[in-house]
A and B are shown apart, each in its own frame.
Chain A
Amino acid sequence: MKPNQFKKLPVFLFTFIAFLLIESCKPKNTNVAASGDASKTYIAPGQYDEFYNFVSGGFSGHISVYGIPSGRLFRIIPVFSVDAERGWGFSEETKPMLNTSHGFIPWDDAHHPELSQTNGEVDGRWVFINGNNTPRIARIDLKTFKTAEIIEIPNSAGNHSSAFVTQNTEYVVAGTRFSIPLDDDNGDVPIDSYKKNFRGTVSFIKVDSSNGRMNLSFQIRTPGLDFDLSHAGKGKSHGWFFFSCYNSEQANTLLEVNASQRDKDFIMAVNWKKAEEYIRQGKGKKQAVRYAHNVYNDETHSATSKIETEVLVLDSKDLANMVYLIPCPKSPHGCDVDPTGEYIVGSGKLAALLPVFSFDKIQKAIAAKTFDGDVDGIPVIKYEAALYGEVEKPGLGPLHTEFDQNGNAYTSMFVSSEIVKWNVKDLKVLDRVPTYYSIGHLSVPGGDSRKPFGKYVIAYNKITKDRYLPTGPELAHSAQLYDISGKKMKLLLDFPTVGEPHYAQAAPASLIKGNSVKFFKLEENKHPYVAKGEGAVKIIREGNKVHIMMTSIRSHFNPDNIEGIKVGDEVYFHVTNLEQDWDVPHGFAIKGALNAELLIMPGETQTLKWLPTKPGIIPFYCTDFCSALHQEMQGYIRVSPAGSNVPLKYGTGVKPNPGQEK
């Protein structure tokens, strides 16, 4: 080695040491900082989870169902979006579910699932969820884990502050995220005439406690505000509903700046018992509107869609003592009521503190008229008069709060990416844990009801980055499970989710699992084209419409040979699954169909529409591996040219049924 090279050695050494020092100053890798506890989330094979977790799919338009604490995905329930896997929105029976006043819509953005409640406690009967884009509310029946009903909301644009329920599921609410000229106004106005022409609405949809059927009961017209989230009062505050709003500036462009100008936006408190009283007094006005109301029937195994044409409207401008505004710091998102019903927590996304309002103080302020002006005739309660207190320095970007059974609250902090636990009474921060990364909503089992079950809080994060194996530019949104049974919150588990989880709710499995339907009874099948046995199979031709009433049972279709179909026909395969046992669905797929498959549950009838385009032999088969002879479950259709005189003929096996053209 030459001497001049030796001279450089200290320089190298110094650089190396400096590099090491700088490296060690970087924050520790999250894997080091967070330690899971597999034993607490381990559910042995064949064992059941303690909770069901209903997680919104966001832009997937579905709900996914997980087990907690294992984080195992059990099911995806199609709601607002078509689902080729189950033929949802593709079968003739399910197409009406996605009908709206605009026509058939194959997609929506599903945000906030809410379990039905009785007496303020989760009862495990239904899940409601909002369609954010084309305003709708869906009801999922937890007996069948199927979407049972979808109702469209008129006078609305972007149903975000939904689908939350009152404590006995008297109502499920909707609120418009965009204020707009309402349906009976002339909407062809300059956009910058917002302040003059744009208004908001919140809607109260009555729920029939016996069967869950929804019915748009009334709407309240409000000033032109944007409603973000909401929650019902409970216990002492039962009868009230609280909505958070942003854009009190009433900006119509560049909202990220223009709707963030004022120090405070509002929480809107609605006395819905008062609204009911006004309606009884005939103060509601009937407005002509158009909205779809779609209902699925488990006996006909078919949905019907009806366009409703009227809504009852109450105007907050004209009716006193029904609606109040409470100032709330900077663009509140979450609007959450604690289990006692006394405390209402507003989460201002841009605020440096968390205001907690007192229901009693709000009532006193209303009685004493401690107001600070009004917005379009709605009194604004003085901030201090409604305020119980503020949680100081909770974190950055508070979004949403849920509660446990011990008087503690858990608030998600989007910007500082953490969950903060604090005491509702003394407003002291007790603990904080990081989330990976940028948590949106969070969920404690029963955490928005009068009876939280505690035990866990689940974070639903917007950003995943390095948490899982990379999958290109698009990554799964992550959920994280934390143990909250001790003083300190502890991260237990990371699990990926479907679509974008916004809100989610969890309930004890014991409330739901016993009611689960195993199959549909064939004798109760009232589908107009059911074939209740292989003897009932037939084909009816009505002009160019051909109805094939066929059956599937392990492991054949009846008929599986069909002749006499012609180009230009409109063919309907009405497939009845004759099985009467748990977990034996059959599928049905036909080559070249511009459609999806059918997935038919035992005892159910589903219909696939098919338009043959050219003569030939077309195969069809069962898509669900149903038995050892599943692969053999297949058949042929002969398609003849238009106008051909090939007779209608069909059958299965050695003695084909003689076909009869009707």
Chain B
Amino acid sequence: MKNKLSTTSRILIAFASGALIAVFLLPAWRIDLFAPQYPEGLTMNIWINKLSGDVEIINGLNHYIGMKHISADMFPEFKYMSYVVFFFMALGMSAAITGRKKLLLAYIVATIIGGLLVIYDLYKWGYDYGHNLNPNAAIRVPGLSYQPPVLGHKRLLNFDAYSYPDAAGWIVFGAGALVIMVWLVEWLINRKRNKRLKTY
């Protein structure tokens, strides 16, 4: 059994892991808020190491409902996420350079676990912000929480909140899909070859 990845696969894997550099240049996630008074919308862009967009304006609005003030230094993730991304890039690159299938498999498993962790993390922070409200807030609606959606749309009082990957998020998503496809193609080719070997 041939245990090495094809040259095309290795180039594609190198390309996919190289594309992760995008997270240093572009925001990964975005939350958009629309309200009658904000027809142009308010956007919070989440990067791997910072926040940008209308964060202060959103904070100003959040204080009515007693939500905590959102600031970058509250998120320990921002401090180590760059290293995590470097690790993923290194893992992908080593799979591409060595051509070892096991490394590719490890890369894919790590990507899936990492992705799930990111979504869990988003949910956890959203839950925290949406539920742990100042009991002395000006606006208190019994039983109502303000947890933003992890993905998709949710109505929060007068705001329509939308949560979607931003540019870098889509690139990471695409890169992940690409390596999984590479794995599948490799697996199919391998199976055919094995069948052929068996018939002889």
Measured between beta carbons, the chain A residues less than 8 angstroms from B139 are 628
Q: Which of B57, B63, B64, B138 contacts A580 (CB 8 A)?
A: B57
Q: Does B128 contact A (CB under 8 A)?
A: no
Q: Does B174 contact A (CB under 8 A)?
A: no
Cα A628 to Cα B35 in complex, Å, equals 14
Q: Which of B54, B56, B60, B64 contacts A628 (CB 8 A)?
A: B64
Q: Does A629 contact B (CB under 8 A)?
A: yes
A-B contact count (CB 8 A): 18
Q: Mark out the residues of chain B between 47 and 66 whose CB falls within 8 Å of any chain A CB in the assembled complex.
A: 54, 56-57, 60, 63-64
Measured between beta carbons, the chain A residues less than 8 angstroms from B57 are 580-581
Q: Mark out the residues of chain A between 501 and 516 whose CB falls within 8 Å of any chain B CB in the assembled complex.
A: none
A629 contacts B60, CB within 8 Å?
A: no
Write the chain B residue with the least CB distance to A522: B56
Cα A627 to Cα B64 in complex, Å, equals 10
Q: Does A554 contact B (CB under 8 A)?
A: yes
Q: Does A338 contact B (CB under 8 A)?
A: no
Interface code A560-586, partner B: CB below 8 Å = 1, 0 otherwise? 000000000000000000011100000
A581 contacts B60, CB within 8 Å?
A: yes
A629 contacts B56, CB within 8 Å?
A: no
Measured between beta carbons, the chain B residues less than 8 angstroms from A554 are 60, 63-64
Measured between beta carbons, the chain A residues less than 8 angstroms from B60 are 553-554, 579, 581
Cα A213 to Cα B42 in complex, Å, equals 37
Range of interface residues on B (Cβ < 8 Å): under 10
Range of interface residues on A (Cβ < 8 Å): 10 to 19
Write the chain B residue with the least CB distance to A628: B64
Q: Which of A555, A580, A627, A632 contacts B56 (CB 8 A)?
A: A580
Cα A462 to Cα B54 in complex, Å, equals 49
Q: Mark out the residues of chain B between 11 and 36 whose CB falls within 8 Å of any chain A CB in the assembled complex.
A: none
CB distance from A585 to the nearest CB of B (A): 14
Measured between beta carbons, the chain A residues less than 8 angstroms from B63 are 554
Interface code A84-123, partner B: CB below 8 Å = 1, 0 otherwise? 0000000000000000000000000000000000000000
Cα A581 to Cα B56 in complex, Å, equals 9
Cα A629 to Cα B64 in complex, Å, equals 9
Write the chain B residue with the least CB distance to A579: B60
Interface code B103-142, partner A: CB below 8 Å = 1, 0 otherwise? 0000000000000000000000000000000000011000
Write the chain A residue with the least CB distance to B56: A580
Q: Mark out the residues of chain A between 591 and 642 whose CB falls within 8 Å of any chain B CB in the assembled complex.
A: 627-629, 632
Cα A555 to Cα B63 in complex, Å, equals 10
CB distance from A532 to the nearest CB of B (A): 13
CB distance from B39 to the nearest CB of A (A): 9
Measured between beta carbons, the chain B residues less than 8 angstroms from A580 are 56-57
CB distance from B32 to the nearest CB of A (A): 16
Measured between beta carbons, the chain B residues less than 8 angstroms from A581 are 54, 57, 60
Cα A628 to Cα B138 in complex, Å, equals 10
Cα A579 to Cα B64 in complex, Å, equals 15
Cα A311 to Cα B132 in complex, Å, equals 68
Cα A580 to Cα B53 in complex, Å, equals 12
Cα A554 to Cα B54 in complex, Å, equals 16
Measured between beta carbons, the chain B residues less than 8 angstroms from A553 are 60
Cα A553 to Cα B61 in complex, Å, equals 11
CB distance from B153 to the nearest CB of A (A): 23
CB distance from A48 to the nearest CB of B (A): 14
Write the chain A residue with the least CB distance to B60: A554
Measured between beta carbons, the chain B residues less than 8 angstroms from A627 are 64
CB distance from B133 to the nearest CB of A (A): 16
Cα A651 to Cα B64 in complex, Å, equals 20
Write the chain B residue with the least CB distance to A654: B136
CB distance from B150 to the nearest CB of A (A): 27
Which of B54, B60, B139 is the most central at the interface, judged by chain A CB atoms within 10 Å of its CB? B60
Write the chain A residue with the least CB distance to B61: A554
CB distance from B144 to the nearest CB of A (A): 16
Interface code A280-310, partner B: CB below 8 Å = 1, 0 otherwise? 0000000000000000000000000000000
Cα A580 to Cα B61 in complex, Å, equals 12
Cα A628 to Cα B63 in complex, Å, equals 12
Cα A579 to Cα B59 in complex, Å, equals 11
CB distance from A484 to the nearest CB of B (A): 35
CB distance from A358 to the nearest CB of B (A): 53
Measured between beta carbons, the chain B residues less than 8 angstroms from A628 are 64, 138-139
Write the chain A residue with the least CB distance to B158: A628
Cα A553 to Cα B64 in complex, Å, equals 12
Measured between beta carbons, the chain A residues less than 8 angstroms from B56 are 580
Cα A628 to Cα B54 in complex, Å, equals 20
CB distance from B71 to the nearest CB of A (A): 13
Cα A283 to Cα B91 in complex, Å, equals 81
CB distance from A465 to the nearest CB of B (A): 42
CB distance from A581 to the nearest CB of B (A): 5
Cα A635 to Cα B60 in complex, Å, equals 20
Cα A91 to Cα B168 in complex, Å, equals 49
Cα A627 to Cα B158 in complex, Å, equals 14
Write the chain A residue with the least CB distance to B136: A654
Cα A462 to Cα B139 in complex, Å, equals 53
CB distance from A51 to the nearest CB of B (A): 24
Cα A632 to Cα B57 in complex, Å, equals 20
Q: Mark out the residues of chain B between 76 and 103 whose CB falls within 8 Å of any chain A CB in the assembled complex.
A: none
Which of A553, A554, A579, A581 is the most central at the interface, judged by chain B CB atoms within 10 Å of its CB? A581
Write the chain A residue with the least CB distance to B58: A581
Interface code A518-559, partner B: CB below 8 Å = 1, 0 otherwise? 000000000000000000000000000000000001110000
CB distance from B58 to the nearest CB of A (A): 10
CB distance from B134 to the nearest CB of A (A): 11
Cα A628 to Cα B61 in complex, Å, equals 11
Cα A555 to Cα B138 in complex, Å, equals 10
Measured between beta carbons, the chain A residues less than 8 angstroms from B54 are 581
Write the chain B residue with the least CB distance to A555: B138
Measured between beta carbons, the chain B residues less than 8 angstroms from A579 are 60
Cα A609 to Cα B56 in complex, Å, equals 31
Measured between beta carbons, the chain A residues less than 8 angstroms from B138 are 555, 628-629, 632
CB distance from A655 to the nearest CB of B (A): 12
Cα A627 to Cα B56 in complex, Å, equals 16
Cα A579 to Cα B57 in complex, Å, equals 8
Measured between beta carbons, the chain B residues less than 8 angstroms from A632 are 138
Cα A328 to Cα B81 in complex, Å, equals 80
Write the chain A residue with the least CB distance to B38: A581
Cα A628 to Cα B139 in complex, Å, equals 10
Cα A628 to Cα B158 in complex, Å, equals 12
Cα A542 to Cα B195 in complex, Å, equals 94
Cα A628 to Cα B65 in complex, Å, equals 12
Cα A579 to Cα B56 in complex, Å, equals 9
Write the chain B residue with the least CB distance to A578: B60
Cα A581 to Cα B54 in complex, Å, equals 9
Measured between beta carbons, the chain A residues less than 8 angstroms from B64 are 554, 627-629
Q: Mark out the residues of chain A between 229 and 266 whose CB falls within 8 Å of any chain B CB in the assembled complex.
A: none
Cα A629 to Cα B66 in complex, Å, equals 14
Write the chain B residue with the least CB distance to A653: B136
CB distance from A558 to the nearest CB of B (A): 13
CB distance from A424 to the nearest CB of B (A): 46
The 6 closest A-B pairs by CB, nearest first: A581-B57, A580-B56, A629-B138, A554-B60, A580-B57, A579-B60
A–B pairs, 18, beta carbons within 8 Å: A553-B60, A554-B60, A554-B63, A554-B64, A555-B138, A579-B60, A580-B56, A580-B57, A581-B54, A581-B57, A581-B60, A627-B64, A628-B64, A628-B138, A628-B139, A629-B64, A629-B138, A632-B138
Apart from A579-B60, A628-B64, list 8 A-B contacts with CB within 8 A.
Answer: A555-B138, A581-B54, A581-B57, A581-B60, A627-B64, A628-B139, A629-B138, A632-B138
Report which A residues bind B (CB closer than 8 A).
553-555, 579-581, 627-629, 632
